Amino acid sequence: MSSFADRVRRGANVNGAHALAVGLLILNLAMTAAAAAPASPFSKAPYIQFPAPGKVSIMWESETNTPGLVRLSLAPTSNPVAQVVFPVEKRSQTSAAAGGSSTTQRQISYYLYTATFSHLSPGKVYSYSVELQETQSPTCSFRTLDPHASRTRFIAYGDSRSDPVIHATLTAQFSRYQPEFILHTGDLVARGQDYSLWSREFFTPASSFLGEVPFFSVLGNHEQDGTNYLNYFDLPGNKLWYSFDAGPVHVLALDFRFDKADHDQFKFARKDLKASHAPWKVVILHVPVYNIGGHASDWGHASYLPLFHETQVDLVLAGHSHMYERFRPLAPKSAMGKRAITHITTGGGAASLHKAMSHPALITRESTNHFLVVDASASAIDFRVFRVDGSLLDSFTLAKTGKRLSRDYLKLTYPEESLNLFYELAPTLAPVATAIPTVAAPARVEFKVPPRLRAASPARLEISLTPEAARNYELINGPLRVVTPDPGITNVVAIVVRATGAANITTNSSRELSPALSFQSTVSAAEGETLAYGGRARLKIVPKSAAQGN
């Protein structure tokens, strides 16, 4: 391993508030060492990819067009197999300078090398080194995945973009758990088309494991058009959606951009999940199927969610919202007590954190940088979730007898029909303030209440302030109780809000009140009961003619 990786590992042993400071020191040391050392021909150090069972791709990048030599051997004593590798020129659009609303773009050329070795034995340790321009890379080793192993351990995390210090401090802890592979839920860098960010935000902070641990990712929205992403990763299948087996775990990776049942990805997913008889089926994608805080995503409900239930998927891992969320097991009412899916939002790699919201469908949630360590056998899958300082955030176990989850776990099941009310009625809680409320002058806040589109029966809402908003605002005539109207009718209802005086109320560039004025509502309908959240209140735009008294 590189000296950078060693320094990162030592930094990860420091807990608490010092961890990020150590991470910053690590990156500064790495930059200083790089400046002082002779120029390396490797602009991205050798790393491994597993494009298919029994295959490994050893990849690296250089700024020069020179053949390289890779030596691979079955550790520790076999004679190495050598392969000469010729580079392929790649082009990327990158940001040369940015200021205000305009960005100057220029083309960057770089040379990417891929050496692929086939017929590797499962569950074996191999060593390799790369020679380029008379420079020898450090010897690294990796273990091939074994689909027939009785156990496996992997790490999962996501949204590692934007802050390389946090990312480096997080990944420095991975080696102590000795994962057999790593899953990433997407958004590896802040702007995928920006070539310079791939070293700064991903390859450098992740260098502590990329050369020795198989890495599998999915495309995130910040990978943009995916050009650099597809260049850098030799993933299975078509790279955008694929699957693989490791011990008792079957992993299906999906591209969030395709959520319809008539797409080729869905046909692949259906065939793949039906064919798998693995004890545990895990789906990984960027945008969550269920998510409360952050983006409040509800991906694939019409198509993929029924498929996941039909094929008995156990776990869905996603990112996009920058936090940790673990849902209670979720299932339709018709399947309660029989089967359920566990949904986890793991978007705390390094991007700026989103607020984690409480909800009765959640077992736990926290707005923090984190990663998951997952141990799987045929009968149980154990989860541990660690914060960036190494402290334990969450731990739990999914256990099966045969193909059935334990009764105690299924007793926790939350009905999907109730949770779906969150997504249907949250838009109703989009508030518009007619003025900025003060202590002396309350303001009217309006809500548009449309008819239900997903059901004929009405829903009842009891609207109140969120706990965060209640620090700075109070309701004069609340809570507000409303019923969704009949089809063809949209009602406008209002609640009167006064400032508490705890903060000076202003507006931002989006006309949102600051501090945020937000609302929540208990919702009851024929489908069940739940809690829904709305967005931040905006100041109403008054037409000029009205403002001028016309």
What's the start-to-end Cα distance of the chain, in Å? 74
Write down the pLDDT at residue 353.
97
**Total Cβ atoms within 10 A of residue 139:** 14
Write down the pLDDT at residue 20.
56
Dihedral sign of CA atoms 209, 151, 348, 388 in order:
negative
Tell me, what amino acid is at 75? Answer: A
Write down the pLDDT at residue 274.
98
What number of residues does the chain have? 550
Alpha carbon 284 to its chain's center: 9
| Residue in this structure with the two tokens 């020898």, named with its chain if needed | 136
Write down the pLDDT at residue 346.
98
Tell me, what amino acid is at 509? Answer: S
- Domain 146-412, CATH homologous superfamily name and number: Metallo-dependent phosphatases (3.60.21.10)
d(CA 404, CA 414): 17
pLDDT in tens, 92-127: 766 644 444 445 677 888 999 999 999 999 999 999
User: What is the torsion angle, in degrees rounded to the nearest 10, for the CA atoms of residue 90, residue 92, residue 97 and residue 100?
Assistant: 180
If the chain, 550 residues long, is cut into consecutive pieces of 10 residues, what is the mean pLDDT of each piece? 40 48 53 57 96 96 94 84 94 58 70 96 96 94 97 98 97 97 98 94 97 98 95 96 98 98 98 98 98 96 98 98 98 94 98 96 98 98 97 97 92 97 94 96 96 92 96 94 95 96 95 96 96 94 54
What does the domain layout of the chain look like in residue ranges? 146-412, 420-547
Q: Are 317 and 283 in contact (CB under 8 A)?
A: yes
| Residue in this structure with the two tokens 């990763």, named with its chain if needed | 233
Phi, psi (deg, nearest 5) at residue 171: -70, -20
- Domain 420-547, CATH homologous superfamily name and number: Immunoglobulins (2.60.40.10)
Q: Which residues pair with 174 in a beta bridge?
A: none
Q: Which residues of 453-478 are buried (b: 16+ CB within 10 A; e: fewer)?
A: eebeebbebebbbbeebeebbbbeeb
d(CA 416, CA 413): 9
For 448, what's the count of Cα atoms within 13 Å in the CB-facing half-sphere?
A: 6
For 510, what's the count of Cα atoms within 13 Å in the CB-facing half-sphere?
A: 9
